Structure 1
Amino acid sequence: MLLDGDEWRATLRQFRSEAWRLETLPQYLVPQESEEIEAFRAGRRIDPYAYSSPYAENLKRLRGEGRRKGRVHIVTQPLSEYLRFEFSRYYAPHSLAGEDIRVLDVTGRENPLPGVQDFWMFDRTTVVLMHYEEDGTQISRELHEGDPAPFIAYQRIAVAESVPFLEYARE
């Protein structure tokens, strides 16, 4: 079953304890980001300590409710322009707002999750497969109707093999 619009937004909002994402691509083409990417290219940066957005405020609210969001992004060096943008514009302030963002850098080493596609997992029971074109344009979101156990294992491996974003960014 494909998830879109209101169904997708409800899935993102209604988790009980944890929403977690695996990201594997060096670029995601999101039309709403075009102006921000141009500003990044022009050298404009945000101060992650002073940044506020509805997403960051929602992260703080979720933490206060005992719910959490997290993700691991698998990367290789050199980072794509998009990843440098994403790290600066989203990962830094969102980490500070309470999202557990981690980076699994597989440069010069074997990827412990070869062939695993992007997905969201909610409460370790609901998995949504994220489908993209090669250039990072999203095609669809599909509710996985099988056993979530493999995805729980992918999460465990990704978290164990990664480092917190703020630590990675200092290196």
Structure 2
Amino acid sequence: MELISSAERNQLFERFAHDAFHLELRDDYSVPNEEGPFEDWLNGSATDDAFMEPWTRLMKGVTGSGMTVRRVRVVTEPHSPYIRWEYATTGVNEAAGESIRWLPRHRLPEGLRFPVDGNDWWLFDDKLVAVGHFDGSGRVLGSEIIESPAVVAECIRVRDLLWPLATPTAAYQP
């Protein structure tokens, strides 16, 4: 399996035409550029959101051009410290144009099987899936690009099932 870097995956946002959808299934992410801000937040210090600037600039560009960027975060309740921090910083993502919804894991439809071995994924224009792969400690290894119609169709099915079940951030009470 060939993996592309996060930077290469982000280039996909410059090429999609309508909709990007992210399904997040992990309760913790070990993203190196987040370690300092996350630790500061854990220690009660104000979080400097400057580390998010490259992402928010990208999101403002694509959503400002009329494209949609949506996420469903499937989370365990009570939340892990990382998810509590992610919830606290979600306003930055939404101010950049993303639409984010939350779905407690215990509210998932019974018997739901996630495509791509239960990994997180981005679905671009209902044509291409970028599957996130992580090592044993939760660090991002890269993304696998899949254009198989069967895999894409399964991701569309899961997206269309979960989006209406998930709660928008403004209404979600952790």
Which category of TM-score, normalised to the shorter sequence, fits these structures?
0.7 to 0.9
Match of 1:142 in 2: 144
What corresponds to 2:32 in structure 1?
31
Q: Conserved in 2, the CA contact under 8 Å of 1:16 and 1:123?
A: yes
> How far apart in 2 are the matches of 1:55 and 1:9?
9
Using the alignment, how far apart are the partners of 1:166 and 1:110 within structure 2? 23
List runs of 5+ in structure 2 lacking aligned partners: none
Structure 2 SS opposite 1:161: coil
* Residue 168 (1) aligns with residue 172 (2): yes
- Specify whether residues 111 and 128 from structure 1 end up closer, same or farther in structure 2 by C-alpha distance, changes over 3 A only: farther
Contact between 1:102 and 1:163, CA under 8 Å: does it hold in 2? yes
Structure 1 alignment gaps of length 5 or more: none
Report the count of equivalent residues.
166
**Aligned residue type for 2:167:** V
Which has the larger displacement, 74-83 or 37-46? 37-46
Aligned to 2:105: 106
Letter in 1 for 2:140: Q
- Paired AA for residue 107 in structure 1: H
CA distance in 2 between partners of 1:110 and 1:149 (Å):
18
Partner of 1:119: 121
Q: Aligned AA for 1:83?
A: I
Partners of 1:92 and 1:166 within 8 A in 2 = no
Identity of aligned residues (%): 28
Displacement of 1:108 in angstroms is: 6.3
Partner of 1:93: 92
Q: Which residue of 2 aligns with 1:75?
A: 75
Change (3 A) 1:110 1:134: farther
Please, which moves more after superposition, 157-166 or 1-10? 1-10
1:111-152 CA distances to partner (integer Å, 9 max, x unpaired)?
664443211111110111111234322223111141111111
The CA deviation at 1:103 is 0.6
User: 1:5 offset after TM fit, Å?
Assistant: 6.1
| Cα contact 1:20–1:69 (8 A) shared by 2 | yes
How large is the RMSD of aligned CA atoms in angstroms? Answer: 2.5
Shift of 1:59: 2.7
Contact 1:18–1:123 (CA under 8 A) maintained in structure 2 = yes
The alignment status of 1:53 with 2:53, answered yes or no, reads yes
User: Which is worse superposed, 130-139 or 144-153?
Assistant: 130-139
Relative to 1, partners in 2 of residues 1:5 and 1:135: Cα closer, same or farther, differing over 3 Å? closer
Structure 1 residues 33 and 15, CA, compared in 2 at 3 Å: closer, same or farther?
same
Q: Are the counterparts in 2 of residues 59 and 68 from structure 1 also a CA contact under 8 Å? A: no
